[in-house]
Amino acid sequence: MNPFENSCQNILQLLEVWEPRLLALPEEVISNRKNIQDRSIRQILGHLVDSASNNTHRIVHLQYRENPMSFPNYATFGNNDRWIAIQDYQHEDWPNLVQLWKYANLHLIHVIRNVDLTKLENQWISGEDKLISLHEMIEYYPQHFDLHLKEMEDLINL
């Protein structure tokens, strides 16, 4: 059995609960309420799309490239905010964005379920003097996912 199956199941359950909830939110809530990073729910959800996409690419690369692997870290130096701005998640069609978030994560779960378990110790150079193993990256993703769902929950409850 895949050692990440429980995490995959947890994400699947969260997707099932959050998809209709997100789709039912009024425009004012998704667009105007901002977190401490000055991100709206739209932008937080867009960031989660980017996170799923980037993690999918890292997981794939870590299974066939040199070890340790050099791969851009989109989250450093404010680049994740650049990604949010350049893709203009603030004005993305909301139902489309929710579906993109859902399906990007469904695909990531598929990739995780099919990871070559002999490659779990392969490492990514995520920063100066910082290495992250494929195993650590996969284990951390659900925490990151949950952190941003909690941020959205806080904004919904304002």
CATH number assigned to the domain comprising residue 41: 1.20.120.450
pLDDT, tens digit, 9 for 90 and up, residues 67-124: 999 888 777 767 889 999 999 999 999 999 999 999 999 999 999 999 999 999 999 9
Give me the number of domains the chain comprises: 1
Domain extent at residue 105: 5-156
| Burial label, 36 (beta-carbon count in 10 A; 0-12, 13-18, 19+) | exposed
What's the predicted TM-score (pTM) here? 0.94
Q: How far apart are CA 4 and CA 126, in angstroms?
A: 22
Angle, helices 41-61/134-156, rounded to nearest 10 degrees: 170
Instruction: State whether the Cα torsion 64-67-71-77 is positive or negative.
Output: positive
